[in-house]
């Protein structure tokens, strides 16, 4: 699948430019449109959705709500969003846990005290799929 990412809102080019690009990408065969925003609320994304939803022919809308993370999936669905990508939350949450574990090891000169923050080796092995 080809998902066309539109940066018009991030660049301050507005909804008109974003719509022009969306229509061009759809005409070119895109399977989805990712509308991107750096705002703290989904307001401009929803404004785009309102215009986009008026198109006669459209493809699924995709969002990455990293900066407007307070929005609920139900609100996104109500506005016509069909795919939500949580692009960096897992890595952003893993890093502080790794720092905490490293600090615990450095403080204690061993890993025993950090073990409570770690999966067991058996749990890790269970995550590895069996070869066919």
pLDDT digits (tens, 9 = 90+) for 10-45: 999 999 999 999 999 999 999 999 999 999 999 999
Band (pLDDT 50/70/90 cuts) for residue 130 is confident
Residue 2 carries which DSSP code? Answer: -
User: Looking at the DSSP assignment, which residues form a beta bridge with residue 62?
Assistant: 34, 83
Whether this model's pTM surpasses 0.85:
no
pLDDT in tens, 81-120: 999 999 889 999 999 999 999 999 999 999 999 999 999 9
- Do residues 11 and 19 touch, judged by C-beta distance below 8 A? no
Residue 86 carries which DSSP code? Answer: -
Starting at the edge strand that comes first in sequence, how are the strands of the sheet with 32-35 ordered?
Answer: 3-6, 32-35, 61-63, 81-84
Six-digit token string for 3: 């998902």
pLDDT at 14: 96
Where do the domains of the chain lie?
Answer: 3-84, 89-127
Distance (Å) of CA 78 to CA 1, 19, 58, 96? 24, 19, 16, 34
Residue 89's Cα: distance from chain center in Å? 8
């Amino acid at each position: 699948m080809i998902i066309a990412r539109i940066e018009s809102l991030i660049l301050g080019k507005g909804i008109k430019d974003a719509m022009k690009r969306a229509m061009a990408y759809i005409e070119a065969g895109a399977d989805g449109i990712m509308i991107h925003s750096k705002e703290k609320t989904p307001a401009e994304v929803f404004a785009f959705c309102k215009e986009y939803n008026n198109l006669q022919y459209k493809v699924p809308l995709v969002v990455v709500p990293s900066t407007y993370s307070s929005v609920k999936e139900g609100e996104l669905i109500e506005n016509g969003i069909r795919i939500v990508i949580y692009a960096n939350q897992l890595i952003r949450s893993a890093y502080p846990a790794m720092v905490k574990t490293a600090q615990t090891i450095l403080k204690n000169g061993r890993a025993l005290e950090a073990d409570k923050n770690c999966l067991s080796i058996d749990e890790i092995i269970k995550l590895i799929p069996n070869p066919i």
